[in-house]
Structure 1
Amino acid sequence: MKKIILLTLICCVFVTNAQEFQLTNKYDVTNQRSIGQEEEDTWAVDVVVTNNPEHPFATLSIANFGLLDEMRISVLKEPSLEGITEVVKITLEYNACCASTEEFYYLVTNNDFIALPSIKNEYAYEPISDIHYIFPNQSFGKEGTILRAVLHYTETYTVKDIKILRSIAWNDDDFDSEDPIIAINY
């Protein structure tokens, strides 16, 4: 009985202290359309709140649409940032000779969506490291701060260590305009 109580307590501590993104159907992709020349295979899609599809909060440009393997929309609830109710993450996964992902993050307030710079990760083989945003309520998170970090993995795909690339103190929605962050693993 004591072992069961101890195990339950340990699980509760991990669940409450470190949340992960969860797949959701609260958001959806609509209005898929070709942009540019047909031979470019570039498409645009609108991202909407499912119960309000006429007002997209983002439009994503997808290069090499034919190589797109999967698109996932997930949320991180209550990220412990003042005024932010959740974080929406849209992951585009491509497969060709090499695998790659592109992640788009949106901070959700009561009436707005705030975009963070996108992140691209490319993999020639098994990922040994990649870049992600880390929010205060996640493992390795820091109070009141959004971290952009490189996560290094062991052979069993557990996080070996992290390297902070940028630390964004959360106090407003004024982000620098910058190009996507790219990590290449070759």
Structure 2
Amino acid sequence: MKKLILLAFICSVGVAKAQEFQLTDKYNVTHQRSIGQEEEDTWALDVIASENPGKSLATLAIADFGLLDEMRISVLEKSGLEEVTEVLKITIEYNTCCASTEEFYYLVTNDDFIGLPSVKNEYAYEPISDIHYIFPNQSFGQEGTILRAALQYTETYTIKDIKVLRSIAWNDDDFDTEDALTAINY
């Protein structure tokens, strides 16, 4: 019986530590406007806190706005990063001849709103791999580190392999010096 209780405790600690992004209405996007030439179909959207709609926290540049299918806003409340109150993720899905997503991540602190390079994934068929950020309190996370990783899936959509593409120490704030990474599944 003691072994069973110990096993249940260990499993609950593991589940409590592993956090996932949850949909939220705490943030929103607004003030849609075109950028540059109209034929480029690039639009800017401001990210706002729903309780303070007059203050823009960040601006998203959305290419191919006419192909936008869905937008989801979610947060990771306990990232495991010191002084980060939550991580905001905005997922934009495009639907053309093949599906694609673009994810924008923001680290929210008491004083700042820090953007990570966006991540793009394209799928011709069922996803066999894609790229995501993994934070310390998530499954496969590492203490004090943000991982950008390519996840490989089995036919039943369980993770079969993880390849770390970049490891970012949380005290390294040089996030905006590179372009987005794209995973293409064909």
CA contact (8 A) 2:115 2:176 kept: no
When residues 176 and 43 of structure 1 are mapped into structure 2, their CA distance, relative to the original with a 3 A threshold, is closer
| 1:107 corresponds to | 107
Q: Matched residues in 2 for 1:67 and 1:113: separation?
A: 28
CA drift of 1:175 comes to 2.7
CA contact (8 A) 1:82 1:171 kept: no
CA drift of 1:59 comes to 0.8
Which shifted more, 23-32 or 165-174? 165-174
CA drift of 1:44 comes to 1.1
Once the two structures are superposed, residues 22-62 of structure 1 have per-residue CA deviations (whole angstroms, 9 ceiling, x without a partner) of: 00000001101122222222211100011111111111111
> Secondary structure of the equivalent of 2:16?
helix
Among all aligned residue pairs of Structure 1 and Structure 2, give the percentage whose two residues are the same amino acid. 78
- Paired residues in the alignment total 185
Q: Matched residues in 1 for 2:23 and 2:151: separation?
A: 21
| 1:124 corresponds to | 124
| 1:94 corresponds to | 94
| 1:145 corresponds to | 145
> Secondary structure of the equivalent of 1:13?
helix
> Secondary structure of the equivalent of 1:69?
strand
Q: TM-score, normalised by structure 1?
A: 0.92
Once the two structures are superposed, residues 53-95 of structure 1 have per-residue CA deviations (whole angstroms, 9 ceiling, x without a partner) of: 1111111111111110101110001211111111000100001
CA drift of 1:148 comes to 0.5
Gaps of 5+ in 1: none
| 1:25 corresponds to | 25
Which shifted more, 114-123 or 172-181? 172-181
For residue 93 of structure 2, what is the amino acid of its counterpart?
E
> Secondary structure of the equivalent of 2:55?
coil
When residues 51 and 160 of structure 1 are mapped into structure 2, their CA distance, relative to the original with a 3 A threshold, is same
Q: Matched residues in 1 for 2:14 and 2:78: separation?
A: 16
> Secondary structure of the equivalent of 2:53?
coil
Q: Matched residues in 2 for 1:37 and 1:116: separation?
A: 27
Q: Matched residues in 1 for 2:79 and 2:139: separation?
A: 12
> Secondary structure of the equivalent of 1:39?
helix
Superposition pairs of residues 36-185 of structure 1, within 5 angstroms: 36-175=36-175, 177-185=177-185
Which shifted more, 33-42 or 146-155? 33-42
Q: Matched residues in 1 for 2:174 and 2:8: separation?
A: 41
CA contact (8 A) 2:19 2:78 kept: no
Gaps of 5+ in 2: none
Q: Matched residues in 2 for 1:10 and 1:143: separation?
A: 19
Which shifted more, 25-34 or 166-175? 166-175
CA drift of 1:171 comes to 1.5
